[in-house]
Amino acid sequence: SGTTRPVRILKYVQRCANSGDVLSVISAIDAYCSKVEWAMNVGDEKGAILDAVVLETRPRYVLELGTYCGYSTLRIAHLLAPGARLITLEMNPHYAQVAIEMFRHAGLDAQVELLVGSSSALIPQLRKKLDIEKFDLVFIDHWKVSYLPDTKLLEECGLLKAGSVLLADNVTCPGAPDYLQYVRNSPRYQSQYFPARLEYLQVEDGVEKSVFLG
Ligand SMILES: O=C(NCCCCc1cc2cnccc2s1)c1cc(-c2ccc(F)cc2)cc(O)c1O
Ligand SMILES: [Mg+2]
């Protein structure tokens, strides 16, 4: 049995990126996935939009839904102030292990808290489990059919406050039409679309930034 795609990406990073240098890890992942084999990282174009939203939000508590190899986790962690907390949820224990090794290579494993399990099971436990009241920023990048139900779950669990920012990847490709309809038509959100290409391809995608109004 061969390796998996995330393992091949990790091995390339461990060989080619300087350990402790998060920007060289991010560049190595983008180099591998644009030249050798495609992977579902948010990528450098949408990643720059993510960076801008993190910098303008200056979040203290961040939740990421969907870790995969940890590419977007690293982009976020790199821009957080000391004392901020970044929680990332991954469904697949193998992907989670790869991401942890990726965080170690980047020297950011102490900055990230990774939980393995489904968002629907974990979100209701976050307040008690992590002693976190509200999230200032949520990066949504997991099952596209889960974007809407999990947003409603975050509201119901009282994990959003007025001003909380949701940033959703892939709202055009593969698409999250029910989520878009909700955040764009609900009086409780101020939503904005940022067009971009799908990672590493000439295909149209985009991210949606939605501010919860309380
Ligand atoms: O599926 C995508 N990402 C989700 C994997 C979610 C697994 C998890 C579920 C879950 C549940 N609970 C907690 C944690 C988690 S993690 C995805 C797919 C494409 C794509 C694929 C083919 C294609 F032709 C064009 C685009 C591009 C992307 O940027 C993606 O993000
Ligand atoms: Mg994505």
pLDDT for the residue numbered 1: 59
Ligand 1 and 142: CB distance under 6 A: yes
d(CA 65, CA 89): 5
The Å distance, Cα 140 to ligand 1 centre, comes to 10
What pLDDT score does 20 carry?
98
Q: Does the beta carbon of 140 lie inside 6 Å of ligand 1?
A: no
Among 26, 47, 55, 27, residue whose Cα is nearest residue 194: 47
CA separation (Å) from 97 to 13, 55, 60, 84? 15, 28, 25, 23
Q: From the centroid of its chain, how far is CA 130?
A: 18
Instruction: Give residue 166's pLDDT.
Output: 99
Nearest ligand 1 atom, CA 65: 14
Average pLDDT estimate for 119-125:
98
- Note whether ipTM > 0.85 here: yes
Q: Residue 2: which pLDDT band, with cuts at 50, 70 and 90?
A: confident
> Which residues are tagged catalytic?
141, 144, 169-170, 199
Give yes or no for a contact between 94 and 5, defined as CB atoms under 8 angstroms apart: no
Confidence check: pLDDT of 191 > 80:
yes
Report whether residue 91 contacts ligand 1, using a CB cutoff of 6 Å. Answer: yes
Indicate the SS3 state at residue 115. strand
Cis peptide before 174 (omega within 30 of 0): yes
- Whole-number pLDDT of residue 160: 98
141 CB near ligand 1 (under 6 Å)? yes
Secondary structure (3-state) at 113: strand
Q: Map residue 58 onto helix, strand or coil.
A: coil
**Per-residue tokens: 191:** 């939503």
Per-residue pLDDT, 91 = 98
